[in-house]
Amino acid sequence: MIGPFDVMEHGRMAVVVDPTGAVFSLWQPRSHIGAQVVNEPGAFCWNELYTTDPKRAADFYSGLFGWKREARHMNFGDYVIFEQGGTMMAGMMQIPKEWGPIPSHWLVYFAVDDCDGAVDRARRLAANVTVAPMDIETVGRFAMLTDPQRAAFAVIKLKTA
């Protein structure tokens, strides 16, 4: 979509569309290396790809980033975990037909101390709840929302060991 360009002295980036239509950006760090705080309340903690063609998307991201992939069979279908160097990088699933004509897209998850409380605060700030808070066994409690400008995101209270 947008070829490589400099972001002052901070880094270099490009905006790309994968073969299934999901948009994402690439970042080459210079003075700003990127996120330094992750997996803590208020910070990024997970990326998830919802796609119309999981095989094509998995082949693309594995080829581009060298990610290994492992399919886990869930009650809603296969959920793919992408890993690099033994670290989970992202998840991926096919867009369910029940969702209607939704294009392929990435969804960012933010960690929170209290999923239900974060959803209540987001509603008061004019967010729309698209998936009400629910539990994922062994992972945590999450919800999906859109902000007042309709940008989608998710919040999750991660289970601790």
pLDDT in tens, 110-119: 999 999 999 9
Q: Which run of H or of E encompasses 59?
A: helix 54-65
- Find out whether 77 and 13 touch, Cβ atoms under 8 Å: no
pLDDT digits (tens, 9 = 90+) for 19-31: 999 999 999 999 9
Q: Give first-to-last CA distance, the chain, whole Å.
A: 41
> For 76-100, what is the mean pLDDT?
91
* Residue 95 CB contacts under 8 Å (≥ 6 apart), including other chains: 50, 51, 52, 102, 104
Sheet holding 2-7, edge to edge: 2-7, 11-17, 23-29
pLDDT value of residue 161: 55
Structure tokens at 63: 């080829």
Pick one of 2.60.40.1510, 3.10.180.10, 2.90.10.10, 1.25.10.10 as the CATH number of 36-158.
Answer: 3.10.180.10
Whether residue 160 has pLDDT greater than 80 = no
Beta bridge partners of 88: 83
CA 2 to chain centre: 21
State mean pLDDT over 72-98: 90
